[in-house]
Structure 1
């Protein structure tokens, strides 16, 4: 299903029509790191800001806390629906919980049947009042791997994941596949900063990100891609110290980091979380909320590669060719391990 296209139709005279948007109250619960992570959460925040400027909305934002449990996450969602917010957005896989059938999102959607929920990066919980906003992370990461291998001089690249779990494995698998598609002998070093048993703390530990990337650079890697949330800032600092490349994620991180770090960012895999959040809010306001899974991929520009800084201009034609093949299904990325 494509959410972005659902609001337009044709009237009796054949002219395009747009559903009228009603005022809507929106609550958003952030993932670890919250606003200011210059990555995943900031992409969701950008969707809220767009809604503020172009729709009639009232918005409440709640931050996640470090080392919190599923009960705290459930409480945050329940607080928003009990306060009367018509649309509640859960940002991040953590809201599925350790047991998706009984986790924070499943419980909140059952306890608040009149609230319209959206969950970003959650495809394990389903309910009649829930829209799952998911992304073809592997497709975007494939392009990051291709860019890394094409720009690498050493033939060795790296990947830093924030937490060792299936969602982030998709990034790794796509990245590895893309690197080897353009240069079969590319070596790919991999490091995960945490596990679910550690509450996936690797998404909010820039020092760990910096240390992991520094080891990769010292070992011969000259491009490192991170899918590590706020810890990616550490990867960029390691790249700066080593005089090597880094690849960002979720947002166009070249545009978000401090100016002194921009020159090390080769490109970024942009997940249009901002678009997903905005379109969900608009769908509720226009009375066309639909439960189920909405996938944002290359064909719908739900994932993209960033060109800020001009550092991939010389390989853009190759990336566009790969993008077209992925969109047409001519390139099939291996599935990530389930566990």
Structure 2
């Protein structure tokens, strides 16, 4: 794996680079814009960066991640500077960048652009969409079964679970609504506590909020909060309860205290895009879907908890998965359907 070194574009952006071999000199370099929370979040950004590195390694082209002190507010400036600097492929992991990217795609028609978690118009824009609601449905169904099984250590008899999100936005609430719908499929009367940390990078706040939910009777808390979620997992470990990880397989962050993780294979998506770009096969104007059917979202293998979860619970979750793939279960998608009545 090539080592990436740091350099700067502007006062607020930091990049790191690999050497470009002669065989790839005719391909303009690729840029990966890191979203809120930054590298080291153990989640969305780190997973995408791993896929980015894999794509660079496989193709030999040059590539650089871009981090900004205020990636949300400076989105248009960051992306414009990347295009001006000669990057032929610009992948943004920041949801807020979708609207300015449409404008920039017109201004820079020779640059290939990629936006995540939404669809945008443009012959030189590839949109990558994950069915996070589908994977979260399975996580909710598992949590709702486990939460009242007092034969499992750390579980009380109350049908109470929780979810902590970074911010309130459709792209985040998509996870929450799927999770709640899955839990309600098991128990329509289950209580799902919902809270927003207003940060992707505050583990201390995540820990505080998770502890509050545990004190209120929850014994399983799902996090959709990037680096803030590290604190949720820490709280679960210290309290003797359970967290559910997100984006990557976070089960090993606190073995035995992470019930499962809802994995979102952004690493696979980014790797595929980089390799396609390098081969002259960029999917401009296309929407790339990654759902349960494509193995783009999935629950973890539960390496550290599978032995304590009754087999019938896992079988039921597997049944839900197949029903979703077969179209027998319609999981609510906030990004396309708005908000359901059960989520206020």
Short-chain TM bin? 0.7 to 0.9
Match of residue 166 from structure 1? 170
The list of structure 1 runs, each at least 4 consecutive aligned residues, that deviate by more than 6 angstroms after superposition, is none
* TM-score scaled by length of structure 1: 0.83
1:67-86 correspondence runs (5 A): 70=73, 72-86=74-88
For residues 43-79 of structure 1, what are the alpha-carbon distances to aligned partners after superposition, in whole Å with 9 as ceiling and x for unaligned? 101111211332222111111314x553x22222122
Match of residue 205 from structure 2? 208
Instruction: Structure 1 unaligned segments of length 5 or more: list them.
Output: 1-20, 195-201
Structure 1 position 185, deviation (Å): 2.6
User: Which sits farther off after the overlay, 216-225 or 151-160?
Assistant: 151-160
Give the Cα–Cα distance (whole angstroms) in 2 for the partners of residues 184 and 310 of structure 1.
29
Contact 2:251 / 2:304 at 8 angstroms: preserved in 1? no
Give the Cα–Cα distance (whole angstroms) in 1 for the partners of residues 117 and 338 of structure 2.
15
**SS state at 2:29 partner:** strand
Match of residue 285 from structure 1? 278
Contact 2:29 / 2:61 at 8 angstroms: preserved in 1? yes
Structure 1 position 24, deviation (Å): 5.2
Match of residue 28 from structure 1? 32
Higher relative contact order (CA closer than 8 Å, sequence separation 6+): 1
Match of residue 95 from structure 1? 97
Aligned length: 300
User: Which sits farther off after the overlay, 38-47 or 316-325?
Assistant: 316-325
Q: Does 1:177 align with 2:171?
A: no
Give the Cα–Cα distance (whole angstroms) in 1 for the partners of residues 178 and 215 of structure 2.
24
User: Which sits farther off after the overlay, 320-329 or 46-55?
Assistant: 46-55
Structure 1 position 84, deviation (Å): 1.5
Structure 1 position 241, deviation (Å): 2.2
1:45-60 correspondence runs (5 A): 45-60=49-64
Give the Cα–Cα distance (whole angstroms) in 2 for the partners of residues 56 and 86 of structure 1.
15
Structure 1 position 108, deviation (Å): 2.4
Give the Cα–Cα distance (whole angstroms) in 2 for the partners of residues 48 and 308 of structure 1.
26
Q: Does 1:118 align with 2:114?
A: yes
* TM-score scaled by length of structure 2: 0.82
Instruction: Structure 2 unaligned segments of length 5 or more: list them.
Output: 1-23, 149-157, 340-344
**Root-mean-square deviation (CA), in Å?**
2.0
